[in-house]
Amino acid sequence: MKLTLLFAGLLFNLIAHGQVASDSLPIEAFTYNETAQLKVYCVRPANYNPDNEYPAIVIFHGGGWSLGDASWGFSNAKHYASKGLVAFSVQYRLQDLDQGITPYESVLDAQNALRWIRKNAHQFSIDTDKIASYGWSAGAHLAACAAIFNNLDAPNEYVSSSPNLLLLKSPALSLLEYSNFQKRLLDKVNVKNISPAEFVSENTPPTLILIGKHDTVTPLRGSELFKKNMDKHNNECELIVYEGVGHLFTPSSEPDDGWPNPDKEVSIHAQGKMDDFLKKHNYIQ
């Protein structure tokens, strides 16, 4: 995945929502990994009542596993909090091969963050049967890995890293599409073993995938394989392919491997489809 496009994650989300959600909803920071000082940022609904129980959504920003920040997901978190969900945006370790940090660490952090949220569900009044995960680009890969490769580094954990629902935008679902990805892992794990599309099972949660037909960064083939394997297991999976756009809904008349220029109409439609999927599963009333 080319790195230049990933500076644009924040811009993409602002455009996709039309505007940043109301600043009246505060953002709270919580440390889920004391050693690495990694945080999740929580936004609660305006009418939050600790005596009630709420669905949750956990957001993973894109950035090619190398760039980005949890703040890129703040507008999404505020959007979903305004819809009545407790929303989290996750900080995770970014690739730094000189320091021995690879995308595998990003995957482990995503799983750790989801486990932490589950373990602390009471603190946030969360319904543990309604924890969705949303990611775009590399962040969608992390969300899918948390669901499919449950507790990779913690096989004896009693709490699952898997969300109950997946929302994946321009997702990297088959790492086998990238000829050099194994080098980025420094032999810590075989690339096949963190490639979600090839390991879909009957336990993979309901999934919505939104992707541009002409995506050159996270090719459609990976999403089609994921959908095919979901269908084999009779799992719910909706794949929406947008004509005329590439990665992060950049018009196909433009390069999609640099700074994205998302088509506004497609972005608004995609946001509506995500909200509809959450409504279908009773996350949004």
- CA gap 164, 187 in Å, rounded: 31
- CA gap 265, 219 in Å, rounded: 21
| Mean pLDDT value across the chain | 93
- Note the pLDDT tens digit of each residue in 214-241: 999 999 999 999 999 999 999 999 999 9
Give the bridge partners for 237, in sequence order.
207
Give the bridge partners for 132, in sequence order.
57, 165
Each domain of the chain, given as residue ranges in start order, spans 4-280
- Note the pLDDT tens digit of each residue in 60-78: 999 999 999 999 999 999 9
Flag whether pLDDT at 109 surpasses 80. Answer: yes
Cβ neighbours of residue 221 under 8 Å, at least 6 residues apart?
A: 174, 177
192 C-beta neighbours (distance < 10 Å), count: 12
Residue appearing with tokens 């690339």 = 191
Query: So what's the pLDDT on residue 259?
Result: 81
Q: Which CATH number fits domain 4-280: 3.30.70.270, 3.40.50.720, 3.40.50.300, 3.40.50.1820?
A: 3.40.50.1820
- Note the pLDDT tens digit of each residue in 5-18: 344 444 444 434 43
